[in-house]
A and B are shown apart, each in its own frame.
Chain A
Amino acid sequence: MSQSAAIADARYTAARERPPAGVTGPWAWARRNLFGSWLSTAVTLLLGYLILRILISFVSWAFLNAIWTVPYNAQGVADTGACQLAKGVGACWAIVTDKYRLILFGRYPYQEQWRPAICVALFIMLYVVSAMRSFWRKELALIWIATLVVIGVLMWGGVFGLQMVTEDFWGGLPLTLILATFGLAFGFPLGVLVALGRRSTSMPAVKVICVIYVELIRGVPLIAVLFMASVMFPLFMPEGVNIDKLLRAQIAVILFSGAYLAEVVRGGLQALPKGQAEAADALGLSYWKKTGFIILPQALRLVIPPLVNTFIGFFKDTSLVLIVGLFDLLAMGKVALTDPPWQSFSTEVYLMLAVIYIAFCLAMSKYSRGLERELSRAHRR
């Protein structure tokens, strides 16, 4: 390239470093995406109008015209007359302030409800700690065990002067978190083992067992598994042995999530190039070291989105334990609505429950997206 051509080229590059005005920025974006043509402008305006209408009516219902408290009579029964009058115009948040402890903690003794409250806080702390990559060390297992022991002590009591509260009185959010946390904390390792077993070439018996387990569990609805666990399972137990309802439901949830997670993990194992395992073999790594250091870290990273999808699904599916007489968060919402003065305010209760479920599920999906980004940043293939 001649010198003058090089200079001209450099000038051209300098001039081209910034895009021309009107290509970037919010106005350019809006022009491109919202008002690109007559049709798109019309749709934008129509949808904008509809969204605004819905937003205005929601705000006036949920906030401007809402009733936050109601008077109580001498017997402590709420007088919901004002709420009844405002029905359809304003929300009756008084039901939430009146019933939130029942919904959150179920039939747990009222005076002792600080205990499940602390448990919920501990669970959330456990999730946050587990989510931080700097805590991904061996100590994390100890943190889990310690936290779960503390939660158990708090929920059951019977020691340290705490009043004994049996599982029959547990309910609401702590129950949901217990079922979901144990269900996934045990279901996930189970799923990984089953996925590995299903791909085993050297142990055909193990493979057959894993295939049967997955296909059997996947072939029936969770409700059926819960029913079996709570109704049929005791029939097989020797007389006098009585495993309580919660544990039975918990085992059913673990077995169920294990089968689904196994298939998700297997997808990741299959997507991994064969050369990775061969390279590990050629270096002389044993099966478990190869699996732990090379195969699983990569396979699990590949399946973070479907894995979190399954996690979220199971978090919500725990509400099916209602069928075997356990009162999780959603079931407690229904119980709260059976109180005669409050019977007609289900919208408010379900909105409150939705907010709680959304908070947990949104946290999971946001976290998973962040994790995916973080993990893929360094080593794109």
Chain B
Amino acid sequence: MSQIMPDHAVAHMAVEDAPPVILLDKVNKWYGALHVLRDVSMAVAEKERVVVCGPSGSGKSTMIRCINRLEVHQEGRIVVDGTELTDDLRALDTIRREVGMVFQSFNLFPHLTILENCTLAPIWVRKMPRAEADDLAMSYLSRVKIPEQAKKYPGQLSGGQQQRVAIARALCMRPKIMLFDEPTSALDPEMIKEVLDTMVELAEDGMTMVCVTHEMGFARQVADRVVFMDRGEIVESGTPQRMFEDPQTDRLKLFLGQILRGH
């Protein structure tokens, strides 16, 4: 099996001269004895859109969750927006304020209204006055096309609507970076498009995005770079066109064969 390690200089050729806003340098992580991240190195430049794909259990979710320290890595360095992730809680707060995250299972707060979901963090973390936070939330809810649902509770919305609220909630913190952890995997097929459309719009606005997803159409449309992970390591990375049309490794070929057959 050929083993092509990603060449970082080539990897973010889309915006080559910009300094990386996310830097992973030989990151290693274990769950007990299980080695889930092996020497993962990656740099994401400002406004770059990276799609991470790979079979389940490949460590892609773990990797993205390490970026805002929902998971703690044991070896290597992670630097986000110039701040290194360590046990220092203040540094962590700074980073989490700048990094928004959207989860597979939405994770909206079911006891708060849609509007309250969106304004909670701006009010209590950013110390924004309530009226201003309300306006901000309404503007983002309008952007994801559900301003009329503001007074409802998450349980009253469809899955696609909930995920769009989750995106709006993250955006209300005005993050510099957005992380998406399989945002469409828990959705019924007819709702996937509305969420992807929202993400495409966000990408077109120039948001820095790291997105774990199996939606190859989305990757083709917006990604500057696709990263393929398998068994805890980055196997191959490159532009979507190069990755899909000319996969270099057997593992990527196998993976592409499997997911394309599935679609």
**Nearest chain A residue, comparing its CB with the CB of B71:** A278
Q: Which of B121, B154, B173 has the most CB of A within 10 A?
A: B121
Which of A278, A280, A286, A379 is B155 in contact with, Cβ under 8 Å? A379
Is A301 located at the chain interface by the 8 A CB criterion?
yes
Which of B109, B170, B173 is A276 in contact with, Cβ under 8 Å? B109
Is A298 located at the chain interface by the 8 A CB criterion?
yes
Contacts of A360 in B (CB 8 A): none
Knowing A275-B105, A293-B120, A293-B124, the reply to whether A284 touches B96 (Cβ < 8 A) is yes
Contacts of A284 in B (CB 8 A): 93, 96-97, 121, 125, 173
Is A297 located at the chain interface by the 8 A CB criterion?
yes
Which of A273, A276, A282 is B101 in contact with, Cβ under 8 Å? A282
Cα–Cα, bound, A273→B68 (Å): 19
The size class of the interface chain B forms with chain A is: 20 to 34
Judge whether B110 and A381 touch: CB under 8 Å: yes
Knowing A278-B70, A297-B111, the reply to whether A285 touches B105 (Cβ < 8 A) is no
**Nearest chain B residue, comparing its CB with the CB of A280:** B109
Is B160 located at the chain interface by the 8 A CB criterion?
no
Which of B96, B120, B156, B170 is A281 in contact with, Cβ under 8 Å? B96
Contacts of A54 in B (CB 8 A): none
Knowing A282-B101, A284-B173, the reply to whether A379 touches B96 (Cβ < 8 A) is no
Knowing A379-B110, A379-B154, the reply to whether A285 touches B70 (Cβ < 8 A) is no
Query: In the complex, how many angstroms separate the beta carbon of A364 from the nearest chain B beta carbon?
Result: 23
Contacts of A281 in B (CB 8 A): 68, 70, 96
Cα–Cα, bound, A285→B173 (Å): 11
Judge whether B107 and A279 touch: CB under 8 Å: yes
Query: In the complex, how many angstroms separate the beta carbon of B95 from the nearest chain A beta carbon?
Result: 8
Cα–Cα, bound, A297→B107 (Å): 15
Tell me the residues in window 81-104 of chain B with beta carbons closer than 8 Å to chain A beta carbons: 93, 96-97, 99-101, 103
Which of B107, B120, B154 is A275 in contact with, Cβ under 8 Å? B107
Judge whether A286 and B93 touch: CB under 8 Å: yes
Q: Mark A267-306, 1 if CB is under 8 A from B, else 0.
A: 0000001011011111111100100011001100100000
Judge whether A275 and B103 touch: CB under 8 Å: yes
Is A380 located at the chain interface by the 8 A CB criterion?
yes
- Please list 8 pairs of residues, one from A and one from B, whose beta carbons are closer than 8 Å in the complex, sorted by A's number: A276-B107, A278-B103, A279-B101, A279-B108, A279-B109, A285-B121, A285-B125, A293-B109
Query: In the complex, how many angstroms separate the beta carbon of A136 from the nearest chain B beta carbon?
Result: 13
Is B153 located at the chain interface by the 8 A CB criterion?
yes
**How many residues on the A side are at the interface (Cβ–Cβ under 8 A)?**
23
Cα–Cα, bound, A285→B93 (Å): 8
Cα–Cα, bound, A279→B104 (Å): 11
Cα–Cα, bound, A286→B96 (Å): 10
Contacts of B153 in A (CB 8 A): 378-379
Contacts of B154 in A (CB 8 A): 379
Cα–Cα, bound, A301→B109 (Å): 13
Which of A273, A283, A378 is B120 in contact with, Cβ under 8 Å? A283
Is B169 located at the chain interface by the 8 A CB criterion?
yes
Cα–Cα, bound, A289→B156 (Å): 25
Judge whether B125 and A380 touch: CB under 8 Å: no
A interface majority secondary structure: helix
Judge whether A380 and B109 touch: CB under 8 Å: no
Contacts of A293 in B (CB 8 A): 109, 120, 124
Judge whether A301 and B93 touch: CB under 8 Å: no
Judge whether A283 and B96 touch: CB under 8 Å: yes
Judge whether A283 and B121 touch: CB under 8 Å: yes
**Nearest chain A residue, comparing its CB with the CB of B93:** A284
Which of B96, B99, B110 is A298 in contact with, Cβ under 8 Å? B110
Seed contacts A273-B105, A282-B101, A284-B93; 9 additional CB < 8 Å A-B pairs: A275-B103, A275-B105, A279-B103, A283-B169, A293-B120, A297-B111, A298-B109, A379-B156, A381-B155
Judge whether B110 and A278 touch: CB under 8 Å: no
Cα–Cα, bound, A378→B154 (Å): 9
Knowing A278-B103, A289-B124, the reply to whether A301 touches B155 (Cβ < 8 A) is no
Contacts of B109 in A (CB 8 A): 276, 279-280, 293-294, 298
**Nearest chain B residue, comparing its CB with the CB of A297:** B111
**Nearest chain A residue, comparing its CB with the CB of B152:** A378
Cα–Cα, bound, A378→B151 (Å): 11
Cα–Cα, bound, A375→B112 (Å): 11
Query: In the complex, how many angstroms separate the beta carbon of B6 from the nearest chain A beta carbon?
Result: 27
**Nearest chain B residue, comparing its CB with the CB of A281:** B70
Cα–Cα, bound, A84→B18 (Å): 101
Cα–Cα, bound, A298→B156 (Å): 17
Which of A273, A282, A381 is B96 in contact with, Cβ under 8 Å? A282
Query: In the complex, how many angstroms separate the beta carbon of A60 from the nearest chain B beta carbon?
Result: 53
Cα–Cα, bound, A282→B156 (Å): 24
Contacts of B120 in A (CB 8 A): 283, 285, 293
Contacts of A378 in B (CB 8 A): 153, 155-156
Query: In the complex, how many angstroms separate the beta carbon of B161 from the nearest chain A beta carbon?
Result: 14
Cα–Cα, bound, A280→B170 (Å): 11
Contacts of A275 in B (CB 8 A): 103, 105, 107
Q: Mark B140-183, 1 if CB is under 8 A from A, else 0.
A: 00000000000001111000000000000110010000000000
Judge whether A283 and B125 touch: CB under 8 Å: yes
Q: Which of B70, B100, B103, B110 has the most CB of A within 10 A?
A: B110
Tell me the residues in window 356-381 of chain A with beta carbons closer than 8 Å to chain B beta carbons: 375, 378-381
Contacts of A297 in B (CB 8 A): 111
Contacts of A379 in B (CB 8 A): 110-111, 153-156
Cα–Cα, bound, A289→B123 (Å): 11
Tell me the residues in window 110-124 of chain A with beta carbons closer than 8 Å to chain B beta carbons: none
